[in-house]
Amino acid sequence: MTIVEVLGWLGTVTAILLGLPQLVRLARTGNAEGLSLPAWQAFLAVNIGWTAHGITIGQAPQIVASALSLASTVPILILLSRHLGRRIWSTLLPGLVLAGIMILVDQLFGSGAYGAIAIIPAVLANAGQSVALIRSSHVRGVSALFLILAVLNQGLWVTWAILVADAGTIIAAGITGMIALFNLIWYAGRRLGIPALRPEAVPTAHSRTGDSRKAPRGFSRRTDAS
């Protein structure tokens, strides 16, 4: 097995595992504090778009990693939609539309153009999480292991892409990796006591309709300080 294959499959394994810690934490605690819905909608587009890109360039690691990552991303979106009192399909639709645009660009204009376009959902996903980490009153709902795996995963894909000369992956994974690293550092700072900047309450279904409604089943109503 060549170094390219080793890196590719390491990237595959970390990509598959990436969303699992966050899914487990959300399902176990019912706490969505610090999580960003737009970020996970963008992750849906990323998973679908990179699955299609892997098929286009004939790289099994990308296909397997991105396709299996949907097994975490979709359940997380379903749980968040219930938490926010939204319809599931309206929650999934933005990610599906964005994925369709990514696939169209890849087929019409090639890998380089795809990489430039793929930056958009990748940045939306990670920057959306950045905003949530900066502004959320609490970050108890965020999985530290998820953030660590995100940095590791992008580092592996950048190295792999350099070796296979895939411009699209180099561009997208490089920028995404820098934002993922920022998220990890900022999360650590928040856990160590850095306060929220311009804090905002985490929206929930009951907060929009008054406290007379019960919180959705399985989700925390805690609003006390961490």
In a domain, 224, yes or no: no
SS3 200: strand
Q: State the Cα–Cα distance between residues 99 and 131, nearest whole angstrom.
A: 22
Residue 160 CA, distance from chain mean position: 20
Residue 141 domain flag? yes
> Is residue 160 in some structural domain?
yes
Nearest to 192 by CA among 144, 151, 153: 144
Residue 206 has pLDDT above 70, yes or no: no
Rounded to 5°, the CA angle 73-163-104 comes to 45
Look at residue 216 and tell me if it is in a domain. no
Residue 17 CB partners (closer than 8 Å, separation 6+): 149
2-61 residue pLDDT tens: 898 899 888 888 888 889 999 999 999 888 888 889 999 999 999 999 899 989 988 887
On whether residue 209 sits in a domain, the answer given is no
Q: Which residues contact 193 (CB under 8 A, 6 or more apart)?
A: none
Whether pLDDT at 188 is above 90: yes
Number of domains in the chain: 1
How far is 128 from 41, CA to CA, in rounded Å? 10
- How far is the C-alpha of 140 from the C-alpha of 84, rounded, in Å? 17
User: Domain limits at 147?
Assistant: 3-27+34-195
Give pLDDT tens digits for 97-150. 999 999 999 999 988 888 788 888 878 888 889 998 998 888 888 999 999 999
Per-residue pLDDT at 113: 87
Residue 219 placed within a domain: no
Is a pLDDT exceeding 60 seen at residue 219? no
Report if residue 92 sits inside a domain. yes
Q: DSSP character for 214? A: P
Look at residue 118 and tell me if it is in a domain. Answer: yes
